[in-house]
Structure formats: structure tokens, C-alpha cells
Amino acid sequence: MNDQIIVAIDGYSSCGKSTLAKALAKKLHFIYVDSGAMYRAVALYFLRNNIDLQNHEQIADALKNIHLNFHSRDYETHITLNNEEVSNEIRQMPVSESVSSVSAIKEVRKEMVKQQQRMGRSKNIVMDGRDIGTAVFPNATVKIFMTADPKIRAERRFKELHPKNPDITLEDVFENLAHRDYQDTTRSESPLRRAEDAIILDNTDLNQD
């Protein structure tokens, strides 16, 4: 038994998990791991290489060719996919629209969970995602389950995306979030749910501080 500390933050899309996780990691001098960025990078690879999500052989082969790495600078997520920096591209709509289907695939989850557990083996970390407190680190020191009103979540996300994507509408963002919530909570592999010992944090009316 070691005395390493793991903080697991799970919850719905765009309710402030990564903002909280980054701030905590900075304050505590822990490593921050954005597990969603890993699923997003896999989704990007699948899109670029036209991987058929029904074809398990293609998926297994693709996973062997995907090498992900985090480079932490100022606690912002910088992720590389086969040595290419993809941190910006993984936030765009094509990836956001396909990532829930990609993250529901059993082989994809198995590989990502293995990599995430490896990252938490020796260092103090804050990791955010959907299954961190339930599947990746069921023995995490602290578990937080975040939620917020869907309309507020969509508005916050829209404000973030709109400057770089002027064509995007609030409705697009709202629908994408609703769709991802549905897929993330109803999938058969590690669906999003609150771990029994997780603290609920409703972020509807809170500011960052």
C-alpha cells in the first residue's frame, strides 16, 4: 500500500470538471490528466482513417497504431497523437460528434483505462472523466461527481467555442451535449454514473472560485 493521492472527478459533459481539476492540480502540485482528451484523440484518429466502428478487427489494429502522450504546460492539456499536437483539433465539432460512439467501444475503453491506471501508479494525480471513480480508480482518495443545469452548461460551452467557430449556434451545442449525456449514461461499457462514495457538486450557480 502506498500513500499516493488520487482525486477522481466525474460528471456530465461541460459542467466544469476540467476547470476544477486543473485548479486543484495546480494548488496541490499534482499531475492533471484529462481522460476525455484521450478518447477525443482516438476519435480523431478513427475519423481521419475512416475506421468502421462496427469492425472490431479494424479497431484493434487502429489501437495498436495510436500513441498518445500528455505534455503538461501550465496545467493546460497538451496531447499528442503519434507525435502530432492535436489539442485544438480534438475540441472541434467533428470530434465532439463522434467521440461518444468511439468511447462506447469496449476495446477502446479497455486500452484507455489501462493507460490511465498506469499514469496513476506512482504519482499524485487529479483525473477527470466519466468512469474515473467507478472503473479506473475505484479506490481513489477523493471522488467528486459534478453536475449543472444543461442550459447553463450549453451557454458556457457556447461562449468558449463561438470565438473560434463563428458558425456554431447555441442550439448545436445544446443538442450535442444532450446527445452525449444520453450516450454516456446509457452505454453498456462503464456508463457515466455516480460512485456511491462520490461527493456531488452542483456547479449551476457557482463561479470558478
Only one residue has cell 483539433, namely: 89
Which amino acid makes up residue 197?
D
Does residue 77 belong to the site contacting ligand DC (CB under 6 A)? no
Q: What angle do CA 172, 176, 181 make, to 5 degrees?
A: 150
Choose the stretch contacting ligand DC; rule: CB under 6 A; options: 60-68, 129-137, 151-159, 196-204: 129-137
Residue from 33, 81, 99, 195 touching ligand DC (CB under 6 A): that is 99
Is residue 111 a contact residue for ligand DC (CB under 6 A)? no
Rule CB under 6 A: choose which of 8, 62, 66, 100 binds ligand DC. 100
Q: Strands 199-202, 142-147: parallel, antiparallel or unpaired by DSSP?
A: parallel
Q: Is 16 in the site for ligand DC (CB under 6 A)?
A: no
Nearest-approach distance from CB 36 to ligand DC, in angstroms: 3
Number of residues that bind ligand DC (CB under 6 A): 14
Strand partners, 11: 146
Q: Candidates 73-81, 95-103, 117-125, 139-147 — which segment interacts with ligand DC by CB under 6 A? A: 95-103
Closest distance between ligand DC and the C-beta of residue 70, in Å? 14
Give the Cα separation of 141 and 106 in Å (integer). 26
Which residues, 6+ apart, have CB-to-CB distance to 168 below 8 Å?
Answer: 93, 158, 161, 162
Which residue lies nearer to ligand DC by CB, 124 or 189?
189
Cβ nearer to ligand DC, comparing 30 with 157? 157
Which residues are registered as beta bridge partners of 129? 10
Q: What are the Cα distances from residue 87, in Å, to 71, 73, 124, 126?
A: 10, 12, 23, 19
Q: For cell 497523437, what's the residue? A: 81
From the list 131, 157, 195, 198, which residue makes contact with ligand DC (rule: CB under 6 A)?
Answer: 131
CA angle centred on 129, ends 191 and 33, rounded to 5°? 150
Q: What is the CB neighbour count within 10 angstroms for residue 16?
A: 23
Output the smallest distance, CB 157 to ligand DC, in A: 9
Cross-strand pairs, 148 = none
Contacting ligand DC (CB under 6 A), which of 22, 130, 143, 157?
A: 130
Task: Find the part of the chain contacting ligand DC (CB under 6 A) among 32-40, 47-55, 61-69, 81-89.
Answer: 32-40
Which residues of the chain form contacts with ligand DC (CB under 6 A)? Answer: 13, 35-36, 39-40, 99-100, 103, 129-132, 180, 184
